[in-house]
Every structure is written in C-alpha cells, then in structure tokens.
C-alpha cells in the first residue's frame, strides 16, 4: 500500500517541506503543452494524475485532476478543477471512465510506477500520455560536472522507459521533447542556457531532486558554478547554449494506445 506523509504526499518527496514555491517556478511551457495536447488527441474528458499545481491542464477538455499532496493542491489556480485526493496506484474511478489520461513529471516519484500506470490504463479508454525523463540520458547535461549528486539522484529515480511502456501495454510511442531556451517550466534542464538561474535556491527547490542532495554538496555546486561564471570558464565550455533555441535532453513523451 502507498504510504502517505502528513500533508498526504504519496511519493518520495514531502511537498509540505519543499512544495511552497512550486507554482511560481514550474509554470507550464506552451510548446511542451502543445505536444501533450497533441498526444491526447480529440479527448473530451482527461484524467491528470500527480496533477500538482495544474500544469498542462488548460485545454478544450473536462479535466479530472488527482493530487495527493495538500500543499500542491493549495497552489492550484482558482479557474482549474479542484483535485481529487488520491494516489496513482489506487485510482477511485471505474474502468474506462476517461477518454484520455496524462501524468507529467510525476511517475518517478511514485512508490510503484508500474501499478500506477496500469491504473491509468484501466480507467482510460484512449491515449495515456506520460511526460518523463529518460534515466539513460539525464547525466548528459553540463550540470553533472558541477553537481553529480543531483543528476545521479535523477538517474536512479526515473524508471526505465521500457518498464513504463511494459506497464502501459498496447502500442507505445516515445518521442523526445525539445526544451525551449526560454522554457517557463523550471526543471533542471530548462536552465541549460541560463545557468545563473540555478544559483537561485528557490528555483532549485522547485526541482525535487535537489532535496536529496546534502547541503555541503549544494554549497560546492554553487561555489563552483559562481566561480566558473565569473571567470568565463562556463561560457568557454557551454556559452553556445545561451543562443541554442532548443535542447534535446532527457525529456520524453510516451503515448500509449490500447490494443
């Protein structure tokens, strides 16, 4: 059974402790949103699991959000539907209740991702879209040189794409999601060309992997990045990224259709 923390958090992160500024730093990016919307097809009813503050819910559908953390539910804008307090692994809906389902930046936190995805499949008639990261690619980012712990943590947390596809069943397609230079959704790779942003503790707190890194390692990271930005070392190595319109990093979108 999925255990719950005091505010209801049901994954590997206590959002009562780190979720405070999530909605400010993790605003849905319209270009990423367009790919998710395309994956959902002509759905009229959409389930959003691990819905958090409601990113990527705006659209021409009736959305049913599911979110276990009270701290995250409290950040949902008033125009969105209130979230159902439940967990992915045990969805309180009958079979085939929704036209489509999605889960974004969430599956890596679930205690049992395979069980959760089987539940999404069970309650959904059409496409299930999963926005996640490929654990085999998360370390291919300059941040790994500055703070290996944070990306090693991510590589451990993200389930293998093959395991996600197997749990979803049916026909699964996986496509890379290009990350725009001015991405409004502040996950780590979103700052590939804006390294200064990662010196902001509030921006880091909105990426849960940082909560697993020891404070001394975070201090070493900020000192090293600050130094390399000041003396031009970062720009000599990676300065081209400041002008690169998109990064093809570890972000991927899985789309599963039932057989």
Of 75-83, 106-114, 228-236, 237-245, which segment contacts ligand SAM by CB under 6 A? 106-114
Compose the 130-159 pattern: x for residues touching ligand SAM by CB under 6 A, - for all others.
------------------------------
CA pair distance 157, 150, nearest whole angstrom:
11
Give yes or no for residue 64 binding ligand SAM (CB under 6 A): no
Q: 100-104 and 246-247 as β-strands: parallel, antiparallel, unpaired? A: unpaired
Q: Which two tokens stand for residue 23?
A: 């909605």
Number of residues near ligand SAM (by CB under 6 A): 24
Give yes or no for residue 51 binding ligand SAM (CB under 6 A): yes
Of 64-72, 119-127, 167-175, 212-220, which segment contacts ligand SAM by CB under 6 A? 64-72
Compose the 15-34 pattern: x for residues touching ligand SAM by CB under 6 A, - for all others.
x----------x--------
C-beta of 61 vs 234, nearer to ligand SAM: 61
Shortest spacing between CB 242 and ligand SAM, in angstroms: 26
Long-range pairs of 199-203 with CB within 8 A, sequence gap ≥ 24: 199/225, 199/226, 202/21, 202/24, 202/25, 203/25
C-beta of 109 vs 153, nearer to ligand SAM: 109
| Residues of span 180-209 touching ligand SAM by CB under 6 A | 208
Characterize 167-189 residue by residue with b for buried, 16 or more Cβ atoms within 10 angstroms of its Cβ, and e for exposed: bbeeebebeebebbbebbbbbbb
Give yes or no for residue 72 binding ligand SAM (CB under 6 A): yes
CB contact at 8 A, 128 and 119: no
Of 44-52, 214-222, 233-241, 243-251, which segment contacts ligand SAM by CB under 6 A? 44-52
Tell which one of 36, 76, 100, 110 touches ligand SAM (CB under 6 A). 110
Give yes or no for residue 11 binding ligand SAM (CB under 6 A): yes
Give yes or no for residue 87 binding ligand SAM (CB under 6 A): yes
Give yes or no for residue 249 binding ligand SAM (CB under 6 A): no
Give yes or no for residue 109 binding ligand SAM (CB under 6 A): yes
Q: Which residues would be at the binding site for ligand SAM (CB under 6 A)? A: 2, 9-11, 15, 26, 49-52, 55, 67-69, 72, 87-89, 104-106, 109-110, 208
């Amino acid at each position: 059974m999925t255990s719950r923390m005091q505010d209801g958090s049901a994954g590997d992160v206590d959002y009562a402790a780190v979720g405070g500024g999530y909605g400010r730093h993790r605003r849905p990016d319209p270009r990423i949103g367009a790919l998710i919307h395309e994956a959902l097809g002509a759905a009229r009813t959409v389930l959003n699991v691990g819905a958090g503050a409601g990113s990527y819910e705006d659209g021409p559908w009736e959305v049913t959000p599911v979110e276990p953390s009270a701290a995250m539910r409290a950040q949902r804008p008033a125009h969105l539907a209130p979230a159902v307090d439940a967990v992915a692994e045990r969805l309180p809906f009958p079979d085939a209740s929704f036209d489509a389902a999605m889960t974004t930046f969430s599956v890596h936190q679930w205690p049992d991702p395979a069980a959760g995805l089987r539940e999404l499949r069970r309650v959904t008639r059409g496409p299930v879209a999963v926005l996640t990261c490929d654990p085999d690619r998360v370390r291919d980012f300059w941040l790994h040189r500055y703070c290996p712990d944070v990306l090693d943590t991510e590589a451990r947390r993200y389930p293998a794409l093959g395991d996600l596809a197997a749990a979803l069943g049916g026909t699964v397609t996986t496509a890379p999601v290009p990350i725009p230079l001015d991405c409004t959704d502040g996950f780590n790779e979103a700052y590939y060309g804006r390294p200064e942003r990662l010196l902001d503790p509030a921006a880091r707190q909105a990426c849960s992997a940082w909560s697993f890194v020891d404070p001394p390692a975070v201090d070493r990271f900020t000192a090293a990045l600050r130094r390399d930005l000041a003396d031009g070392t970062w720009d000599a190595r990676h300065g081209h990224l400041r002008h690169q319109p998109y990064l093809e990093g570890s972000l991927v979108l899985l789309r599963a259709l039932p057989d």
